[in-house]
Amino acid sequence: MSGVDVCFHTSLLPNAHARDAETITYLAKDYTDVSSSYTVPLSYNYCVGDTETEWLPSSWPGGNVYNLNKNASFANSNVVKGFPMFPTKESDGLYFTPEHDKDSDETIVSLSPAEMSLPFGNDPTAVQISVAASSTVGYISASYFAQFFSVQDYRIKHSSSLSAVQKVELRTVVNKLQDLVWSTGLLENVSTMSGWIKPNPDTMPSANESNYWFTDGGYTDGPAAAQAIARYQQRYGTSTHIKLIISNQNHYTNNNNNIIDYFSYNGNEGTEPGAFTWPMGVGAGPQMTPQMSKQIFAESITAEELSKLFEPVSGTNLTIAVLPVATTVDNGESVCCVIDCSLFSLHLLLNRLNLSEL
Amino acid sequence: MQNDAVSTPSSNTKRGLEEQNSEDLRKQAMAAFFIAAAATTLASASAQNQNDILWSASGGGWRAMVAQSAYAQVFSKLGILGGHDNTNPQIKVMAATSGSSWFSSQFAFSQNYFNAVVNGNATSLGKFTKAWMDAYATTQSNILPNCGILQELCDMGASSEPVLSEVAALIPFALNYNRSWPEIVYAMYNATSNMVYDDPNMVFFGKVGRLEWSRCLFSHIAFAKCTCT
């Protein structure tokens, strides 16, 4: 394995509720400007090379810390004001300002970036980093879960299988759940906390205001291709013709949403690469919140064109496609390089311990 | 990992053996076909076959982890992933998330796991995978369908929309592990590394100085010989 960089792709939750400290910390692009607070997950990578390890990006967001009344109700609170909820509205923007500073009973304390503690003591174990990368229900922790529940609320409202009475009951339960989760911190550790230092998590301390949480990397870049290319360009430059193999096992019925996002298509039209947007498949797949646009290639493709590229591998649940030669978009920091893409897509349902098909 | 250390399905009857042999042949044929298909696909992607390769992988839980191990075996046999004698692999970056990171963490951090994948064939990898899953299953046995104070949600979720019902179904499991994803996944690594590929220190790797860690990770010396502390 010498010469192979191994990268783990994870996502950083935009806010962190530290129950014991009675604070909520909003990560911010610029910690001195609360209007730059993030409301959606951020992409983070941890790469291990032959002689070094590195977080990408190398710097961490600063945090704006707010004191909270732990007994306050969540459902109608200002904790999530300004968050982009589903369904998207004309008024939705991103980097929205959580409106705590407008409340008289709350106090702003701004932390400098240096005061945000580095995750896992800045020296994660293999288990810790893969736990962070795989926190698949992390969206149900912190106040970020309001965005997840906005999708569920929409589904309940528009369900054809639920009666009107059932819809009312279910929405009541969902609202009660949000309050319960918020007031007790019941599910905070379904995401992965940065203050987990010792290998065995049974000694993990409670979160404080300088900690934050990771959730599944699939919520910012499903197949991690953007991260792989970023790491390669960082190490070897941008002038090389390279090949990219994507093995895509994300979704049972439709694996293509998280591939087409890499190209220019009608779903990201008008959105600059790297800007935030509601991705394809919100409410119907693993994407439930706005994300940073994952367009990394300048070329355009349609869903139909992409689907036609796939060919089945006889006797297996696999399909293989050779994607068009692509050129990385100019991000203002690098020139483009050309990439050949091969895509292995696995359509196999293996979400229970039933090994009869192995 | 020595392949003979992997538990094998019992098949005491002649018919059972024949079925097993037939199944082995089917897997070998599928593997061979996939290797050919993969080689053809990779070759057709460019006339410049010596270009550096990046391998990125999505999540998908066990589905992803298992698929990655099969791909890794194929890529190793194609000579693009590296191995004991390959000091300049074509694959320069492996990026993984979620379920795929369960594979890459074990593959890169455990010599025994690496050997079980790279040195085997489709049949041995299938047996290894089944043993891994059996070990993992021990961490979930005897969990009662109890949702505690969230019972109302579980009851509603059971007959509700798919995503909410999936969340509800996870609650008894989560309660058993103190509602802690780290504890759930740590238990998975702990059980499988101890019971299947005999690498109990797998759960500790990484807690060393950066350079020392990397040297240990990427050397092909048995981890026990590393001076990691």
Q: Which among B66, B96, B136 has CB closest to A8?
A: B96
- Predicted confidence (pLDDT) per residue in A332-345, tens digit: 444 455 666 666 66
pTM of the model: 0.85
Cβ contact A61:A26 at 8 Å:
no
Most B CBs within 10 A among A45, A192, A247, A317, hence the mutation to make, goes to A247
Cβ contact A336:A328 at 8 Å:
yes
Helix H or strand E segment including A321: strand A318-327
The residue ranges of every structural domain in chain B are 3-120
Q: What is the mean pLDDT of chain A?
A: 80
Q: Which among B102, B186, B206 has CB closest to A124?
A: B206
The residue ranges of every structural domain in chain A are 6-214, 225-346
Where b means 16+ CB within 10 Å and e means fewer, B22-53 reads eebeebeebbeebbebbbebbeebbeeeebbb
Q: Tens digit of pLDDT per residue, chain B (229 long)?
A: 333 333 333 334 455 556 656 666 566 666 666 666 666 556 544 444 568 899 999 998 888 999 899 999 988 888 888 654 555 778 999 999 999 999 999 998 888 999 999 999 999 999 999 999 999 999 988 888 888 877 877 887 776 666 667 777 778 888 899 989 999 999 999 999 999 999 988 888 764 333 344 444 544 333 333 333 2
Cβ contacts of B188 within 8 Å, gap of 6 or more: B102, B136, B139
Q: Which among B54, B61, B181 has CB closest to A232?
A: B54
Burial of A317 (0-12, 13-18, 19+ CB in 10 A): middle
pLDDT at A21: 83
Q: Which of residues 127-146 of A touch B (CB under 8 A)?
A: 127-131, 133-138, 140
ipTM of the complex: 0.90
Q: Do A127 and B160 touch (CB under 8 A)?
A: no
Mean pLDDT of A184-198: 89
Cβ contacts of A92 within 8 Å, gap of 6 or more: A84, A85, A290
